[in-house]
Amino acid sequence: MHIEVQGLTKSYGSVKAVKNLSFTLNPGDFVGFIGGNGAGKSTTIKMLTGQLIPSSGSIRIGGEDCVVNPQIARERIGYVPEFPELYTYLTGREMLEFVCSVRLGADLERGIAIAGLGDDIDRLIREYSQGMRRKMAIACAMVSKPPILVLDEALNGLDPSSVKRITALLEEERDAGTIIMLSTHVLDTLESRATRILYIDDGELISDCGIEGLNEIRERL
Amino acid sequence: MRNINPYSVVATRKRKRESSARVLWWTKLVLVVVVSLLLREPLSVYLLNNTANRLDQLLFRTGAVLVGMTALQTYTDVVRHPERFIFGVHPIRSQLFLRSVATQQLLHSFWYVLLSIGVWSGVSIDWIGWIVAYVISAWLGGVGAGYAVHLGSVWAAKASVMSGVLDSIRGANPREQAAFIYAPGIVLALMGVGLIFGAGATRLAIEGRMGFAAWILAPLVIGIAGWFTALRLAEVHLIRAGMVLSDIDTHWGVVEEAEDETAVYLDWLAKDNPHRLRLLRQSWRLHRWITIGLWVLGSVVALMQWLGDEFEVRLASGLLATIFVVFPAKLLQHEPQWLQWSLGIDRFTQWRAVIEVSGLVWLGYCIPIGIVQLSTGAASVQLFGTLLLMVPLFGLVAWFDLIGRTRQGVAVGLLASAGIWLSAIGIGS
């Protein structure tokens, strides 16, 4: 399954947050999506994941138009927002049960394993730390084994062992053909994992290169 | 598993686990009983002293209030749902979602029905059955029509065929916002026709003329048609509702940032008081619509005062004051206590600033009424005394909040305000 983005633009009055972005992502791509604060990363991600309507341009996932039918993006993309929100009055297990009932092909046990919370999975989410909540959000995004994963600063606030475990999981998914798009300011996370780098600045795609271009971008940032 | 509505499961667990729901349930029950007991007699006396035509008017107003409430709440359900950032990152099962929010809506808004029936409970026993039928018809009709119109407004927000109309009425707002702003008015207009027929038919039935009794269900029929329309519209437009709303919110975020807006309402009153200034900034930048809304409503009520309807002025003031009494808790919601503590700001200083700012915002409502009262020579010391009594209530709510008893504070504030205003309205009538 491919993602084809063509001429993607988002304007608010005279302010253009994203300008004429075009790229294609292929199965097995692990994309580092990077840029400074306010570069337009989150706006782009929100359009890709069916949270925002583009002002112009097209997004096709598996050949289907997600601007016309945003439900396709929500079904095919597992998305972890920068500030994930959860039903705090549910337990972790109940939260995953909810996600399993709205996402086709989801497996509760897989979700519980990804969350890696042990017995805490049966505690109310309002008692969770920020890191535990983030692990839950990642588990919710991955529970149905979607063909595309979009993670917006998803590894922030996780302890080193959890970062290691989650990145290993992401590598497994990449090897199985899942498209992974990881937006992060921690460029070291991308080294040895990412296969491509998309660098945007001021809403424009500045560079679409292999991982070898990371050092050059690091200097620019 | 497939037969269970996941959104309903979540809602049921929320109801069972959130202690605020229980406090709110009891608060609502007490309010319904108190308001019903206090208003049932004045309403009956009013009806006895007036012509039968007044019955139509009062029934219509009762229905309109119910529809108005449900029009606003159905908007929240399908467009500005407070949990949209949680379920919105996943696919939406539109019909299941709509059924779930509608069920919750019926459970939550049933209090308005009880209140309406309670207020009418003082009339003759022969009337009450017809009135109950009309009230339920208006309520269910409002819910069904509300969902249809709000989902329709999502379509209108992005439909090229509607762009001209929306551009002509949007003012400084984004086009999409115009579609949302006017939707509750359209619900009222749509339901208004049904309510007129329903209210008229109820009066005729009470008078023993049964030929038109079926028209009592006119609002309900509109609501049922609305509900089935909503189910169809939800398939495409429910998922887009949150997207359009994000557009509007981001638009305002970008525009306000671009304007680099630093001016704050009444900041000249806080030049030497950093705590008051901080709260004024918070109030203006996060809850501006409350300040503006109070001025607008104050002006509307001042107009009612000018037209000489003292009873309605008190009733409107009481309703508004009882809603506004939660404002200090809203202000404190954005005041992290650990930060106050680490900055060495004592609780009393913070408390005083909350009372001052709540009072200053509340003045926006009081000033237009005061101007009209003074200019017409009809100044009511009692009305102004009651309006000013809100300030100690702000202090009460704020104090409960500062000691970590927010919900109890809100409950006490709501009940105290309702009690004060009902006695003021009772004396007035």
Task: Tell me the pLDDT of chain B averaged across its residues.
Answer: 86
| pLDDT exceeds cutoff 50 at A193 | yes
Average pLDDT over residues B223-230: 96
Interface of A with B in 121-140 (CB under 8 A): 124, 140
Question: How is residue B77 written in tokens?
Answer: 């359900």
pLDDT in tens, B272-311: 888 888 888 888 888 888 888 899 888 888 887 877 777 7
What pTM was estimated for this model as a whole?
Answer: 0.78
Task: Tell me the pLDDT of chain A averaged across its residues.
Answer: 91
pLDDT at B94: 94
- Name the residue among A53, A70, A80 with its Cβ closest to that of B247: A53
pLDDT band, residue B3 (cuts 50/70/90): low
pLDDT at B261: 57
pLDDT at B48: 67
Cα end-to-end distance, chain A, whole Å: 32
- Name the residue among B6, B14, B246 with its Cβ closest to that of A52: B246
Confirm if A66 and A46 have CB atoms less than 8 A apart. Answer: no
pLDDT band, residue B428 (cuts 50/70/90): very low
Average pLDDT over residues B44-65: 77
pLDDT in tens, A154-163: 888 889 899 9
Burial of A2 (0-12, 13-18, 19+ CB in 10 A): middle
Judged by CB atoms closer than 8 Å, whether chains meet at B86 and A86 is answered as yes
| pLDDT exceeds cutoff 90 at A8 | yes
Interface of B with A in 134-163 (CB under 8 A): 158
Judged by CB atoms closer than 8 Å, whether chains meet at A103 and B242 is answered as no
Instruction: In whole angstroms, give the CA distance from residue B67 to residue B41.
Output: 24
Closest CA to A33 of A45, A22, A21, A24: A45
- Name the residue among A43, A53, A102 with its Cβ closest to that of B244: A53
Average pLDDT over residues B213-218: 94
pLDDT in tens, B102-159: 999 999 899 889 988 888 887 878 888 999 999 999 999 999 999 999 999 999 998 8
Strand partners, A208: A198
- Name the residue among B13, B246, B251 with its Cβ closest to that of A94: B13
- Name the residue among B91, B158, B246 with its Cβ closest to that of A71: B91
The whole-angstrom distance between A213's CA and the closest CA on chain B is 32
Interface of A with B in 175-204 (CB under 8 A): none
Average pLDDT over residues B64-79: 92
pLDDT at B257: 55
- Which residues of B fall within a CB distance of 8 Å from A97? 6
**A13 at interface of B, judged by CB pairs closer than 8 A:** yes
Instruction: In whole angstroms, give the CA distance from residue B102 to residue B112.
Output: 15
Instruction: In whole angstroms, give the CA distance from residue A3 to residue A198.
Output: 14
pLDDT at B205: 92
| pLDDT exceeds cutoff 70 at B427 | no
pLDDT band, residue B23 (cuts 50/70/90): confident
Long-range contact set of residues A207-211: C-beta below 8 Å, sequence gap at least 24: A208/A23, A211/A32
| pLDDT exceeds cutoff 70 at B347 | yes
Judged by CB atoms closer than 8 Å, whether chains meet at A12 and B13 is answered as no
Which of B90, B239, B251, B256 best probes binding to A when mutated, by most A CB atoms within 10 angstroms?
B90
pLDDT at A60: 96
Judged by CB atoms closer than 8 Å, whether chains meet at B83 and A87 is answered as yes
pLDDT band, residue B383 (cuts 50/70/90): confident
pLDDT in tens, B248-262: 887 776 665 555 556
Average pLDDT over residues B162-168: 83
| pLDDT exceeds cutoff 50 at A203 | yes
pLDDT at B52: 58
Instruction: In whole angstroms, give the CA distance from residue A16 to residue A8.
Output: 11
Confirm if B429 and B311 have CB atoms less than 8 A apart. Answer: yes
Closest CA to A215 of A173, A182, A187: A187
Q: Quote the crossing angle between the two packed helices B218-259 and B125-158, to the nearest 10°.
A: 40
pLDDT band, residue A150 (cuts 50/70/90): very high
- Which residues of A fall within a CB distance of 8 Å from B87? 102
**B250 at interface of A, judged by CB pairs closer than 8 A:** yes
Confirm if B245 and B253 have CB atoms less than 8 A apart. Answer: no
pLDDT at B429: 46
Average pLDDT over residues B14-29: 79
SS3 of chain A: the string is CCEEEEEEEEEECCEEEEEEEEEEECCCCEEEEECCCCCCHHHHHHHHCCCCCCCEEEEEECCEECCCCHHHHHHHEEEECCCCCCCCCCEHHHHHHHHHHHCCCCCHHHHHHHHCCHHHHHCEHHHCCHHHHHHHHHHHHHCCCCCEEEEECCCCCCCHHHHHHHHHHHHHHHHCCCEEEEECCCHHHCCCCCCEEEEEECCEEEEEEEHHHHHHHHHHC
